[in-house]
Amino acid sequence: MEKLVIKGPTPLKGEIRINGAKNAAVAILPATLLIDGICTIDNLPHISDVLLSCEILEKFGAKIKWNTKNCITIDTRNVHTTKAPLDLTSKFRASYYIIGSMLSRKKEIEVGMPGGCQLGARPVDQHIKGFEMLGADVTLGNGTIYAKADKLVGNSIYMDIVSVGATINIMLAATLAEGTTTIDNAAKEPHVVDVANFLNTMGADIRGAGTDVIKINGVKKLNGNATYSVVPDQIEAGTFMLAAVATKGNLILKNCITKHLESITAKIIEVGGVVEDYGDSLRVYCERRPSKANIKTLPHPGFPTDLQPQMGVVLSLAEGTSIINESIWESRFQYTQELNKMGAKITAQGKTAIIEGVEELSGSPVYSTDLRAGAALIIAGTAAHGVTEVYNLQYIDRGYEDIEERFRSIGANIERINEDN
Ligand code: EPZ
């Protein structure tokens, strides 16, 4: 079994380049199934969710050439099946994008119910509502979703709940539909905008992404023949910003879009940190113990749920008592039990956590329970006094490329050990 062994405390200092966004990449890759042609995608994070997405696309008949570790050229002219490999698609959440893409491409698809981090119930009712309103028949049974349509016709769809996945999936199903589709109460995350930008680069006609209302004018064909670079990862950038604050470090983040980080920057300033905004890069530091703050996670542009665990580490070390209200997921506080093993004083009940700040954390063996919890535990281990061992690295490797090398490059005393060797 692999683990990360971290010795702290170490203030993180230096410069780090932010990679392409996981949650954009895992949607853009299946979106290539809408293209009857060849395209190149650059700035892909080299993470297991991207590798898994590529493996699924190849099962559908796509030809993929890796130009570099972070750049592929993909030929989707020969898509020969409408049945996704159940063993692969059940491994992660984003496999549901295969449905929207293949409804557009082949008007038929069968895919396993998506997997993904255990954050509570992860329904897909809004995805299905959108597909049905575009004219598809969708049936669920024995762990699979089967969708079929004679044709897809544009419609006006009002989302009952703001959903990143459903917004993107409906966009994928509407891009080649007849007529115009509007999505009201749409998700506005940077990765939603990036998928719309990718599709428009390949010949789609999508307007309003990033606002509450997205309008998609169906087109006949996407011809590809272009290169697209994935947007910098808002969540990875926020992870390193909060790592700088938690460890009283001083980091420069390169290749980030500071406009996407406004809610995180505001909270860092509120707790006593400093953020110097240079547009496509920033400096973040905190020279003193953070002050307490209250957090409510919300859809963009609110504070992202995917940075809630990382913020929980900062608040565990803050002066005073903080409250976190997790409004998106039912169970995203599992990491707090692990932080309490390190000396934190967190009481989590339902969607609320009360955090009584402590002077310092102490090293301990801890277990990652999901992707972002894993990142939070690495931050905690870097800030803590003593040795921390982080287990369940498979979660972390899904979303962060070369995580230990990148933390080591900014001063962390961290290494990956395989206990079986
Ligand atoms: C995406 O998940 C992200 N994953 C998640 O990031 C992120 O936490 C989430 O958006 C919120 O920002 C990917 O993009 C691959 P939602 P998604 O649909 O699309 C409810 C990470 O760490 N809902 O926006 O599954 C749902 O239960 C991961 O990178 C319905 O009720 O999230 C939740 O309460 C973890 N019905 C809320 O909406 C639906 O049909 C938001 O979910 C769909 C969602």
CA–centroid distance, 122 to ligand 1, in Å, is 7
Instruction: For residues 212 and 273, state if they share a domain.
Output: no
Instruction: For residues 242 and 357, state if they share a domain.
Output: yes
Ligand 1, atom 19: closest residue by C-alpha: 165
Instruction: For residues 177 and 72, state if they share a domain.
Output: yes
Instruction: For residues 12 and 66, state if they share a domain.
Output: no
CA–centroid distance, 360 to ligand 1, in Å, is 33
Instruction: For residues 167 and 218, state if they share a domain.
Output: yes
Q: Which of 229, 255, 289 represents a domain boundary (last residue)? A: 229
Bond before 309 cis per omega within 30 degrees: no
Q: Which of 203, 229, 255 represents a domain boundary (last residue)? A: 229
Question: Does residue 91 have a pLDDT over 80?
Answer: no
Q: Which of 183, 212, 229 represents a domain boundary (last residue)? A: 229
Ligand 1, atom 7: closest residue by C-alpha: 306
pLDDT digits (tens, 9 = 90+) for 281-304: 999 999 999 999 999 999 999 999
Q: Give the residue numbers spanning the domain of 364.
A: 2-19+232-418
The ligand 1 atom nearest the CA atom of 23: 14
Instruction: For residues 127 and 179, state if they share a domain.
Output: yes
pLDDT digits (tens, 9 = 90+) for 103-130: 999 999 999 887 766 777 778 999 999 9
Instruction: For residues 7 and 85, state if they share a domain.
Output: no
What the block records as the tokens of 227 is 């290169």
Number of residues in the chain = 421
| Structure confidence at residue 44 (pLDDT) | 98
Residue 117 annotated to the active site: yes
> What CATH number has the domain bearing residue 219?
3.65.10.10
Instruction: For residues 217 and 255, state if they share a domain.
Output: no
DSSP for 53-86, written as a single string: HHHHHHHTT-EEEEEETTEEEEE-S----SB--H
CA–centroid distance, 326 to ligand 1, in Å, is 13
CA–centroid distance, 285 to ligand 1, in Å, is 30
The ligand 1 atom nearest the CA atom of 191: 14
Ligand 1, atom 34: closest residue by C-alpha: 328
Instruction: For residues 99 and 198, state if they share a domain.
Output: yes
Region 407-420: what's the mean pLDDT?
96
Instruction: For residues 15 and 28, state if they share a domain.
Output: no
CA–centroid distance, 20 to ligand 1, in Å, is 19
Geometric angle at alpha carbon 158, from 93 and 224, rounded to 5°: 55
pLDDT digits (tens, 9 = 90+) for 157-212: 999 999 999 999 999 999 999 999 999 999 999 999 999 999 999 999 999 999 99
Model confidence, pTM: 0.97
Ligand 1: list residues with CB < 6 Å: 22-23, 26, 93-94, 117, 121-127, 161, 163-166, 187, 305-306, 328-329, 371-372, 399
Q: Which of 39, 71, 117, 286 is catalytic?
A: 117
Instruction: For residues 120 and 12, state if they share a domain.
Output: no
Number of domains in the chain: 2
Instruction: For residues 56 and 149, state if they share a domain.
Output: yes
The ligand 1 atom nearest the CA atom of 187: 24
Buried b (16+ CB within 10 A) or exposed e, 99-125: bbbbbbbbbebbbbbbebbebeebebe
